[in-house]
């Protein structure tokens, strides 16, 4: 077999909707994740990693491009927001393809059009039942239908793709999407071009609901005492009493929460086991030592914290994500920091990869290399910024700033232009809102100043005379970068929503 020495392989492992505190290296002593724990021991743990937007499409767009949501044009996900589209100027797989990498994405990509490649040579898809294009069938669905034992569906267990319910998987484990994703990854290793290094994005559709791990993994947690949801002193009654099975702010009973968390934890342990299978396969193929491994998730899951479910919030359960970076073995002597407490984001992955490869970083990338932090060097960063246009409720549209010690949240569509401030160092689960505490007035002004600085490029509709301007009652803003990207590809961007006078009114 031909061997290459010049460039390491790159493995980007991504889970969907995995909150930060679901690994032992983040302080969870209940959950069992031995394979990810091993990666944490071998590499560097970033304790303050945040999504730039806590839902699938905007987070993944920022990851693949290295740009913040304003630059990708994807400011949220849901009824009033846009599809990802194509024609990004730079993407991780596109850039690596030019460096002679074989680039493949396996699992959930969440692209639109669904078969678009966005720089990959090939994608092998599991899209969690999502059908956006006419006649689209995912590769997992096609395989499942060809291998299922009877007339049975992927979610015939009765749990919705966004549901809070949980139960063991209703079919043999080998049919589960988590197993399929790793099986396809192992096939790739066996059949890839041996003369080229590879970039593989191994993207799991879980622990995002349905919370349906195989029975073995579900049962691991049913008799354990699991962490209870946190409830801030500032929490009011749910603004709606939502009773649907995919509710986002239903106050679940203790029994319902225990089942949901058993399914969620079981899904993570199931993924961990399958990641172990893939790492063993890498070792068998004599590729493990020569591979850069990055593990992360697109966003978290509230799991009942503050009476909230699912995602799209600035709170820790939704916005704070895991981030592990394991250097190739011959580079590990450069590791000076095994744990990094400086805030980082998904868009930092792109420049990190290029920096580790010794390649120049495109100037239009917003992210900063985490390699500097691994080596014990400093980066110029006072804060990270995140946002989400409304998904479930206008009142939850938010912008947030995270510094090393504090989090500031602005709710632009609430009646009183509301803000929150949390001391993450001393109050890591945001139990006390300090925004009206006079002792923190200077901190509030400082964090608000960071927000004003971040949003000033959006014009006087958002920042005027050094103040944040309420967006209540105004049309949802469309980034000019989104219009430019789609128009440069020859698409009529106005067809991707219901537009009025160039601004987004609503999207069906």
Q: 257 and 281 share a domain?
A: yes
pLDDT at res. 266: 98
Q: 199 and 181 share a domain?
A: yes
First-to-last alpha carbon distance for the chain, in angstroms, is 53
pLDDT at res. 86: 87
Q: 229 and 315 share a domain?
A: yes
Backbone region of residue 286 per phi and psi (left: phi > 0; alpha: psi in -120 to 50; beta: other values): left
Which pLDDT tens digit goes with each residue over 110-155?
A: 998 999 999 999 999 999 999 988 889 999 999 999 999 999 999 9
| Total domains present in the chain | 2
Which 8-state DSSP code applies to residue 298?
S
pLDDT at res. 492: 72
Which H or E run includes 455? helix 441-455
Is residue 39 within 8 A of residue 324, CB to CB? The reply is yes
Cα 364 to Cα 376: distance, rounded to the nearest angstrom: 25
Adjacency order of strands within the sheet including 344-345: 320-321, 49-50, 344-345
Positive or negative, the CA dihedral 243, 248, 251, 254 is positive
3-state secondary structure of 370: coil
Q: Evaluate whether residue 204 is within a structural domain.
A: yes
Q: Evaluate whether residue 23 is within a structural domain.
A: yes
Cα 391 to Cα 473: distance, rounded to the nearest angstrom: 16
**Residues forming a β-bridge with 476:** 504
Which pLDDT tens digit goes with each residue over 327-367?
A: 999 999 999 999 999 999 999 999 999 999 999 999 999 99
Cα 395 to Cα 393: distance, rounded to the nearest angstrom: 5
3-state secondary structure of 285: coil
Q: Evaluate whether residue 485 is within a structural domain.
A: no
**Residues forming a β-bridge with 340:** 46
3-state secondary structure of 102: strand
**Residues forming a β-bridge with 406:** 423
The CA-atom distances, in angstroms, between 176 and each of 23, 126, 345, 421 are: 22, 11, 30, 42
Q: 353 and 422 share a domain?
A: no
Cα 339 to Cα 183: distance, rounded to the nearest angstrom: 32
Cα 398 to Cα 246: distance, rounded to the nearest angstrom: 21
Is residue 454 within 8 A of residue 464, CB to CB? The reply is no
**Residue after which a domain boundary falls, among 338, 355, 384:** 384
Q: Evaluate whether residue 489 is within a structural domain.
A: no
Buried b (16+ CB within 10 A) or exposed e, 171-200: bebebbbbbbbbbbbbebbeebeeebbbbb
Q: Evaluate whether residue 345 is within a structural domain.
A: yes
pLDDT at res. 61: 96
Backbone region of residue 340 per phi and psi (left: phi > 0; alpha: psi in -120 to 50; beta: other values): beta
Q: Note if 110 is an active site residue.
A: yes
The CA-atom distances, in angstroms, between 108 and each of 212, 228, 384 are: 17, 30, 26
Marked catalytic residue, from 56, 306, 391, 396? 56
Domain with 252 in it: what CATH number? 3.40.720.10
pLDDT at res. 498: 37
Cα 396 to Cα 390: distance, rounded to the nearest angstrom: 6
Q: 353 and 393 share a domain?
A: no
Q: 375 and 392 share a domain?
A: no
Q: 368 and 398 share a domain?
A: no
Provide the CB-side half-sphere exposure for 408 (13 A, CA): 24
SS3 helix, strand, coil % of the chain, rounded to 5? 35, 15, 50
* Residue 363 lies in domain: 9-384
**Residue after which a domain boundary falls, among 350, 365, 384:** 384
At which residue do the structure tokens 């590879």 appear? 198
Q: Evaluate whether residue 149 is within a structural domain.
A: yes
Is residue 106 within 8 A of residue 201, CB to CB? The reply is yes
Q: Note if 56 is an active site residue.
A: yes
Q: Evaluate whether residue 75 is within a structural domain.
A: yes
Marked catalytic residue, from 25, 35, 95, 110? 110
**Residue after which a domain boundary falls, among 339, 355, 384:** 384
Q: 248 and 368 share a domain?
A: yes
Is residue 118 within 8 A of residue 88, CB to CB? The reply is yes
Q: 141 and 76 share a domain?
A: yes
Between helix 34-42 and helix 254-284 the angle, nearest 10°, is 60
Cα three-residue angle 92-94-100, rounded to 5 degrees: 105
Cα 266 to Cα 248: distance, rounded to the nearest angstrom: 21
CA-only gyration radius of the chain, Å: 22
Q: Evaluate whether residue 157 is within a structural domain.
A: yes
Which pLDDT tens digit goes with each residue over 197-240?
A: 999 999 999 999 999 999 999 999 999 999 999 999 999 765 55
Low-confidence ranges of the chain (pLDDT < 50): 1-4, 497-508
Q: 312 and 171 share a domain?
A: yes
Buried b (16+ CB within 10 A) or exposed e, 128-148: bebeeeeeeebbbbebbeeee
Cα 211 to Cα 222: distance, rounded to the nearest angstrom: 13
Cα 342 to Cα 379: distance, rounded to the nearest angstrom: 9
Q: Name all contacts of 374-383 with Cβ < 8 Å and 24+ positions apart.
A: 374/44, 374/325, 374/327, 374/334, 374/335, 374/336, 374/337, 374/340, 375/334, 375/335, 375/336, 375/337, 376/336, 376/337, 379/342, 381/342, 381/343, 382/450, 383/343, 383/447, 383/450
Q: 187 and 276 share a domain?
A: yes
Other CB atoms within a 10 A radius of the CB of residue 107 amount to 30
At which residue do the structure tokens 């994405």 appear? 105
What whole-number percentage of the chain has pLDDT above 90?
80
For every residue of 161-177, DSSP letters joined together read: TT-S-B---SS-GGGSH
Q: 361 and 415 share a domain?
A: no
pLDDT at res. 493: 64
Cα 491 to Cα 33: distance, rounded to the nearest angstrom: 44
């Amino acid at each position: 077999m031909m061997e290459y020495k010049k460039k390491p392989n790159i493995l980007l492992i991504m889970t969907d909707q995995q909150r930060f505190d679901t690994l032992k290296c983040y302080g969870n002593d209940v959950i069992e994740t031995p394979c990810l724990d091993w990666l944490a021991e071998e590499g560097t743990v970033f304790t303050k990693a945040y999504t730039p937007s806590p839902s699938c499409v905007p987070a993944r767009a920022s990851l693949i491009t290295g740009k913040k949501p304003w630059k990708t044009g994807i400011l949220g996900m849901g009824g009033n927001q846009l599809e990802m589209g194509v024609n990004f100027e730079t993407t991780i797989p596109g850039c690596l393809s030019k460096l002679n990498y074989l680039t493949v994405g396996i699992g959930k990509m969440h692209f639109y059009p669904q078969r678009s490649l966005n720089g990959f040579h090939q994608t092998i898809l599991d899209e969690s039942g999502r059908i956006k294009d006419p006649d689209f069938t995912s590769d997992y669905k096609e395989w499942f239908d060809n291998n299922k034992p009877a007339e049975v569906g992927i979610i015939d267990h009765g749990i919705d793709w966004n549901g809070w319910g949980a139960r063991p998987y209703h079919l043999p484990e080998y049919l589960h999407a988590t197993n399929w994703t790793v099986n396809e990854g192992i096939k790739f290793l066996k059949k890839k071009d041996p003369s080229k290094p590879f970039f593989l994005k191994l993207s799991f559709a879980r622990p995002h609901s349905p919370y349906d791990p195989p029975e073995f993994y579900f049962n691991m947690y049913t008799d354990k005492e699991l962490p209870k949801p946190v409830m801030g002193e500032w929490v009011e009654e749910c603004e709606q009493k939502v009773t649907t099975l995919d509710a986002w702010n239903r106050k679940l009973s203790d029994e319902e929460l225990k089942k949901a968390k058993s399914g969620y934890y079981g899904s993570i342990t199931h993924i961990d086991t399958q990641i172990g299978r893939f790492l063993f396969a890498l070792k068998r193929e004599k590729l493990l030592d020569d591979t850069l491994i990055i593990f992360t998730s697109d966003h978290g899951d509230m799991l009942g914290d503050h009476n909230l479910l699912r995602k799209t919030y600035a709170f820790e359960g939704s916005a704070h994500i895991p981030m592990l970076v394991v250097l190739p073995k011959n580079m590990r002597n450069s590791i000076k920091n095994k744990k990094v407490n400086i805030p980082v984001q998904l868009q930092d992955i792109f420049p990190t990869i290029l920096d580790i490869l010794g390649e120049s970083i495109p100037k239009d990338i917003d992210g900063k290399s985490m390699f500097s932090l691994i080596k014990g060097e400093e980066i110029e960063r006072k804060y990270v910024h995140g946002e989400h246009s409304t998904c479930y409720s206008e009142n939850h549209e938010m912008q947030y700033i995270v510094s090393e010690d504090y989090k500031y949240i602005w709710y632009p569509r609430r009646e009183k232009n509301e803000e929150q401030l949390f001391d993450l160092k001393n109050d890591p689960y945001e139990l006390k809102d300090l925004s009206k505490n006079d002792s923190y007035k200077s901190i509030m002004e400082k964090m608000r100043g960071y927000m004003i600085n971040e949003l000033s490029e959006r014009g006087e509709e958002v920042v005027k005379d050094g103040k944040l301007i309420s967006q209540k009652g105004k049309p949802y803003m469309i980034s000019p970068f989104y219009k430019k990207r789609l128009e440069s590809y020859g698409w009529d961007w106005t067809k991707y929503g219901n537009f009025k006078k160039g601004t987004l009114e609503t999207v069906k």
